[in-house]
Amino acid sequence: FAGLADVSISEDIPVEGEITVPVGSHSPDEDFSTLDEPVRDTIMRDLKAVGKKFVHVMYPKKSSTLLRDWDLWGPLVLCVSLALMLQGGSADSKDDGGPQFAEVFVIIWFGAVVITLNSKLLGGTISFFQSLCVLGYCVLPLTVAMLVCRLVLLAGSGTISFIVRLLVVLAMFGWSTLASTAFLADSQPPNRKALVVYPIFLFYFVISWMILTFTPQ
Amino acid sequence: RGAAGGRWRGSPGPSPLTDSPPQALVDDTEDVSLDFGSEEELALRKAKIRHPVATFFHLFFRVSAIITYLFCDWFSNSFVACFVTILLLLSFDFWSVKNVTGRLLVGLRWWNQIDEDGKSHWVFEAKKVPTITASTEAEARIFWLGLIICPVIWTVFLFSTLFSLKLKWLALVIAGISLQTANLYGYIHCKLGGQKSISRTMSRFFVTADVPKRQTRRISEDHIEEHGKTDTN
């Protein structure tokens, strides 16, 4: 090993290295450097999520990924459009439809909150906002029914139109209830499903009643 | 003689004629000055408000909602139109403050996450290390002022609605209070949650700055390098 005894690094050879100091944890927004891009991306992402949920309501099949990404934009839009279509249809036409508009709002949101509380008290595993999200989105068939009813009423308000409206509203009411039950009832133990389903039934029944008894002045 | 401690860039090696460190030669050759980056970055550093659009929108929706509520009789006779407009403004304000302006103006973010068993978690995140596009004092002040003052104003509206018995506005005022208070609560939670780890992070930041100067530290991809103490003997 004699040759190894004199191992030394010649001073002409630079010994160099780098130390990179990790700059904190990578927060997801470090990639965003401008305001425009991320906002547009965020908006598109949220819009796509809302659209996907609307489609899911029309073809209800249980999907847990859908439930996990809850948002309340869809319910807001549906609530506003339903309330807009329902206003101005009561006996006292002196008002500009103000109270009825706020009434529809209060009924929908307060009703949804009560149903959610009920299902949580019964031991459901679904979270508060998820349940609000599902109930809100399932108002979509009834909003479609309202649209159809208004169109039918433009044609006339006799017995035939009443029967047509009744059938449409009944069909959509059944659809709403089934769609929301498909999502919500599974989070309950089996002997309690009926206890959870009947408030949902009542909720959509009240909305359907408001739609069916709507008569324009 | 050997560059055993670091790497010189932009200046020649030690002079072969003398043993002194080549500091005298540095002046004759390129500037070994610390370069902070381009002009834009300099301007960005000096600006008082680095995100003007975000700051504008942070205040725009909230203030328009309040103004529309106060002056709705001037804009339109219809209760419904005012109601819908204010509600939409409040919703856009909630979304933009939660998703965009909080992240850009103060580096905080909060959201709700539901994991696979269906349990929901509220996550509060605070950005720890400031970057070049981090917020300034002025922006942070505007953010927090806007965040705090508006719920207070909506609470005042609540009482005025109750006492003047204009109950048809009650639903809207309650919606306004809940949306704005939700953001306020979320951001305060983020801020308080971040405080605990701030002292720990700051000390770590300062300690690495004093790392023995023999090592080179790469700060950016370009020309900035800290020159270590060179032992040329």
Burial B155-164 (b: 16+ CB within 10 A, else e): eebbeebeee
CB of A131 within 8 A of CB of A203?
no
- What residues contact residue B38 under an 8 Å CB cut-off, 6+ apart? none
β-strand partners of B218 = B225
Q: B120 contacts in A (CB within 8 Å)?
A: 127-130
Q: CB pairs under 8 A, 24+ apart, for A199-206?
A: A199/A114, A199/A115, A199/A118, A199/A119, A200/A115, A200/A135, A201/A177, A203/A111, A203/A112, A203/A115, A203/A135, A204/A138, A204/A139, A204/A142, A204/A173, A204/A176, A204/A177, A204/A180, A205/A173, A206/A107, A206/A111
Rounded Cα distance, A139 and A201, in Å: 12
Q: B115 contacts in A (CB within 8 Å)?
A: 68
ipTM value > 0.90:
no
Give per-residue pLDDT as tens, A43-79. Answer: 888 888 888 888 887 776 666 666 677 888 889 999 9
Are residues A23 and B129, on separate chains, in Cβ contact within 8 Å? yes
User: Strands B108-114 and B120-126, how do they pair?
Assistant: antiparallel
The closest CB to that of A21, out of B83, B120, B208, belongs to: B208
β-strand partners of A124 = none
Count the Cβ atoms, other than its own, within 10 Å of residue A59: 7
List C-alpha distances in Å: A161 to A71, A151, A152, A154: 36, 10, 6, 10
- A-B contacts at Cβ under 8 angstroms: 107
At B82, list the tokens: 């005012």
Q: Hey, is the C-beta of B48 within 8 angstroms of any chain A C-beta?
A: no
pLDDT tens per residue, chain B (233 residues)? 444 444 444 444 454 555 545 454 555 566 666 655 667 666 666 677 777 888 888 899 999 999 999 998 887 888 888 899 999 999 999 999 988 888 888 888 888 887 777 677 888 877 766 665 566 788 888 888 989 999 999 999 999 999 998 888 888 999 999 999 999 999 988 888 766 555 555 555 555 555 555 544 444 444 443 444 444 44
How many Cα atoms within 13 Å fall on the side-chain side of residue B20? 5
Q: Give the DSSP H or E segment for B108.
A: strand B108-114
Question: Which residues between 158 and 187 in chain A have a beta carbon less than 8 angstroms from any beta carbon of chain B?
Answer: 187
The closest CB to that of B80, out of A25, A29, A98, belongs to: A98
User: Å from B88 to nearest chain A CA?
Assistant: 9
Q: Hey, is the C-beta of B106 within 8 angstroms of any chain A C-beta?
A: no
The closest CB to that of A16, out of B168, B171, B216, belongs to: B216
At B178, list the tokens: 């809940």
- Running DSSP on this structure, what letter comes out for residue B102? I
Q: Is B37 helix (H, G, I), strand (E, B) or coil?
A: coil
- What residues contact residue B33 under an 8 Å CB cut-off, 6+ apart? none
Rounded Cα distance, B36 and B160, in Å: 55
Q: B128 contacts in A (CB within 8 Å)?
A: 24-25, 27
Tell me the residue type at B57: F
CA A116-B79-A156 angle, to 5 degrees, is 85
Give per-residue pLDDT as tens, B91-115. Answer: 999 999 988 888 888 888 888 887 7
The pLDDT value recorded for residue B55 is 85
CB of B211 within 8 A of CB of B217?
yes
* Domain ranges, ordered by start, for chain A: 66-88+98-213
Are residues A35 and B51, on separate chains, in Cβ contact within 8 Å? yes
User: Å from A27 to nearest chain B CA?
Assistant: 7
β-strand partners of B108 = B126
Question: In residues, how long is chain B?
Answer: 233
Rounded Cα distance, A148 and A78, in Å: 15
The closest CB to that of A12, out of B2, B7, B117, belongs to: B2
Rounded Cα distance, A89 and A212, in Å: 11
The torsion angles phi and psi of A188, rounded to 5 degrees, stand at -110, 155
Give per-residue pLDDT as tens, B151-194. Answer: 999 999 999 999 998 888 888 999 999 999 999 999 988 888 76
Q: Hey, is the C-beta of A22 within 8 angstroms of any chain B C-beta?
A: no
Q: Hey, is the C-beta of B47 within 8 angstroms of any chain A C-beta?
A: no
Q: Hey, is the C-beta of B51 within 8 angstroms of any chain A C-beta?
A: yes
Q: CB pairs under 8 A, 24+ apart, for A117-125?
A: A118/A196, A118/A199, A119/A184, A119/A187, A119/A188, A119/A196, A119/A199, A122/A188, A122/A192, A122/A195, A122/A196, A123/A188, A123/A189, A123/A192, A124/A184, A124/A187, A124/A188, A124/A196, A125/A187, A125/B117, A125/B118, A125/B119
Question: Which residues between 123 and 152 in chain B have a beta carbon less than 8 angstroms from any beta carbon of chain A?
Answer: 125, 127-129, 131, 133
Rounded Cα distance, A87 and A100, in Å: 6
The closest CB to that of B118, out of A29, A33, A126, belongs to: A126
- What residues contact residue B88 under an 8 Å CB cut-off, 6+ apart? none
**Please, what is the average pLDDT of chain B?**
73
